[in-house]
Structure 1
Amino acid sequence: MSEIHLDLDVLSTLKEVMEDGYPELLDTFLKDSEARLRVLHEETDAEMLSATAHSFKGSSSNMGAIRLAELCGELEQRAREPSLRGIESLVNEIDSEFAHVRALCREERESFHC
């Protein structure tokens, strides 16, 4: 398991590609992630949990949020198991990791100069 909250090389590449759209990309990622996190906390349907975790994993990976993507991948797999018992602790771990990522994205957003 990685302990990298945000891969700065990935962000650097995104910054080059997105140019002036980079801050909006960060904002969209945060907004979408917060919505997905709400679903993970509220959803009881295993299929929906797995699908939400899968999409969260993809966006996290694209943004360089390595550990967050790993945790979402773990949740995606766990949601496919017969019992969802204990899944709350994994969702809480995702929540905690996203708190780190959110703070780093906000710092990145504030440091961006057009």
Structure 2
Amino acid sequence: MSDPVLNLDKLNAWRQMDPEGGAGFIKKLITIYLSSAPAFQIRIEHAIQAADSDALVRAAHTFKSSASNIGAELLADICRQLEEYGDKNQLSEATELLVEMQNESQRVITALKELLEEC
């Protein structure tokens, strides 16, 4: 069995911070993530294609934080690795990890859309 796409404990912690006590904050958080994730992914792809280590570090760091906020721990870890590869100028390793990041990002988006329908 594969690891869960989302750590629901993380999302539930955000839910508890909602002053309304409902899913309003979670819905907003998920909606923001869904609207921004494709741009983060494109920035990472472009940075790798352009062999721009600094841009890769910035894009991967931002995407890592965003993924972590919504409980996408595997995606956050992949982004952490990409950030590290950018920091060490290991772009061939980053290129190898790119497909994994794209696949996991799609899994996260799918899981969040399903969750949004349940809210």
Tell me the TM-score normalized by structure 2: 0.84
Aligned-partner Cα distance in 1 for 2:35–2:53: 23
Question: 1:4 deviation in Å?
Answer: 3.2
**C-alpha distance in 2 between matches for 1:14 and 1:83:** 35
> Comparing both chains, which one has the higher relative contact order based on Cα–Cα distances under 8 Å and sequence gaps of 6 or more?
1
Amino acid at match of 1:34: P
Match of 1:37 in 2: 41
Which residue of 80, 88, 93 maps to 2:87? 80
**1:32-75 CA distance string (max 9 Å, x none):** 11110011111221101111101111111111101000000000
C-alpha distance 8-83 of structure 1, shift in aligned 2 (>3 A): closer
Match of 2:30 among 11, 26, 50: 26
TM-score, length basis structure 1: 0.88
Residue identity (%): 28
Aligned to 1:51: 58
Partner of residue 113, structure 2: 106
RMSD after superposition: 1.6
Q: Which runs of 4+ in 1 moved over 3 A?
A: none
Return the letter of the residue paired with 1:28.
Answer: I
Unaligned runs of 5+ in 1: none
